[in-house]
């Protein structure tokens, strides 16, 4: 696992506690990720659902910037159609400067047409808005004076008084579930994350490597190809399963609540009702440290990834339950040697 980095994926989904306490506990946990040597923290953006209590990721990430020293972090992803790209570009520059150049820039159109619809946007045009917004943001990264004449956004002679610390811009990230989506990612050197099972993840990583080589790129410069998993570790397998079964049901309810309300199904993803149905897919890894780390190593090998994302906090898990998983995991995996 010499080329593997380990990171964190977080929906910041709400459990049962007071929201102020919830935010503080999660920031304390992120401090632990930083101290342990995890590479990055990736935060989802969702709206009108308990799945995402950070609907404005930049606000929470500005706190992350101040509570950590080395951990890289970013949205996974900013839902670009929901922002004016100029405003978002300014926020990106500020976050990158506030953190000393630790921002990882995840971008996308937003997976849920329901959430996009609440903002009065037509889900059918959201992909075109996303592409144009990204073009504008990357153009603005060049500095100077901005002129942009698009279908949705038009800017005339705007002085650009900010810039990101990382040049030409923070590293880009994209979430995907289909191998064909790797073509654009490889062409633009974009890091990727998937929630697919091992077989699906392997199809994606194989295709990315194929596209990367076809472009004449060096394998040593391959971007990060990540895969996320629910992880719960305890001193005994029975304790870990008890925690995970309870928390997963709550997390899944939050994941599906808007889809169920509208009589729709999530796009390109399915999570079964119980943890015991999820475990055979490999998308949750639960047990003692030895069991979990062994399975993580096996999945890294079979999936072809070079970035493994742990989801240590979900549902109604307490800070202590999450921290136990982090401590036991890092006791058995030397994270810092991978940085």
Q: What is the dihedral of CA 97, 101, 102, 106, to 10 degrees?
A: 80
* pTM assigned to the model: 0.95
What's the pLDDT tens digit per position in 75-96?
Answer: 999 999 999 999 999 999 999 9
- Contacts of residue 240, defined as CB under 8 A and 6 or more positions apart, other chains included, come to 232, 233, 234, 286, 287, 288, 292
How far is CA 107 from its chain centroid? 10
Task: Report pLDDT digits (tens) over 233-245.
Answer: 999 999 999 999 9
How do the domains of the chain map onto residue ranges? 5-76+176-338
CATH topology of domain 5-76+176-338: TIM Barrel (3.20.20)
pLDDT at 2: 56
d(CA 267, CA 246): 25
141 φ/ψ sector (left φ>0, alpha ψ -120 to 50, else beta): alpha
Residue 339, pLDDT above cutoff 50: no
| pLDDT over 70 at 253, yes or no | yes
CA dihedral 273, 274, 275, 281 (to 10 degrees): -60
**What's residue 111's pLDDT?**
85
170: pLDDT strictly greater than 70: yes
What the block records as the tokens of 47 is 């709206």
Q: Return d(Cα 202, Cα 6) in angstroms, integer.
A: 18
Mean pLDDT, the chain, integer: 95
pLDDT digits (tens, 9 = 90+) for 195-222: 999 999 999 999 999 999 999 999 899 9
Per-residue pLDDT band at 15 (split at 50, 70, 90): confident
Q: DSSP letters of 219-259?
A: GGGPPPEEEEEEEEE-SSHHHHHHHHHHHHHHHHHHHHHHH
pLDDT computed for residue 14 by the predictor:
87
Q: Please tell me the distance from the alpha carbon of residue 261 to that of residue 200, in angstroms, as a whole number.
A: 29
For residue 336, the model assigns a pLDDT of 53
């Amino acid at each position: 696992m010499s080329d593997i980095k380990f990171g964190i994926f977080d929906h910041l989904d709400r459990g049962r506690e007071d929201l102020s306490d919830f935010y503080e506990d999660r920031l304390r946990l992120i401090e632990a990720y930083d101290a342990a040597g995890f590479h990055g923290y990736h935060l989802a953006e969702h709206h009108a659902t308990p799945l995402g209590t950070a609907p404005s990721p930049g606000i929470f990430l500005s706190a992350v910037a101040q509570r950590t020293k080395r951990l890289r972090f970013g949205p996974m992803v900013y839902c670009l159609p929901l922002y004016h790209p100029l405003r978002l570009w300014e926020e990106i520059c500020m976050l990158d400067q506030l953190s000393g150049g630790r921002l990882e820039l995840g971008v996308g159109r937003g997976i849920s047409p329901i959430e996009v619809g609440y903002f009065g946007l037509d889900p059918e045009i959201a992909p075109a808005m996303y592409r144009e917004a990204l073009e504008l943001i990357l153009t603005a990264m060049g500095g100077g004076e901005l002129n942009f004449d698009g279908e949705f956004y038009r800017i005339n002679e705007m002085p650009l008084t900010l810039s990101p610390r990382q040049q030409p811009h923070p590293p880009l990230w994209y979430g995907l579930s289909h191998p064909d989506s790797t073509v654009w990612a490889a062409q633009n050197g974009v890091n990727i994350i998937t929630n697919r099972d091992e077989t699906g993840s392997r199809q994606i990583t194989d295709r990315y490597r194929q596209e990367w080589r076809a472009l004449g790129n060096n394998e040593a410069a391959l971007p990060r190809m990540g895969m996320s998993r629910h992880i719960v570790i305890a001193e005994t397998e029975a304790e870990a399963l008890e925690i995970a079964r309870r928390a997963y049901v709550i997390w899944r309810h939050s994941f599906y609540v808007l889809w169920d309300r509208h009589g729709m199904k999530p796009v390109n993803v399915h999570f079964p009702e119980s943890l015991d149905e999820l475990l055979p897919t490999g998308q949750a890894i639960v047990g003692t440290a030895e069991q979990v780390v062994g399975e993580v190593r096996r999945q890294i090998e079979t999936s072809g990834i070079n970035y493994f994302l742990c989801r240590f906090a979900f549902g109604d898990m307490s800070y202590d339950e999450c921290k136990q998983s982090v401590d036991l995991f890092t006791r058995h995996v030397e994270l810092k040697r991978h940085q």
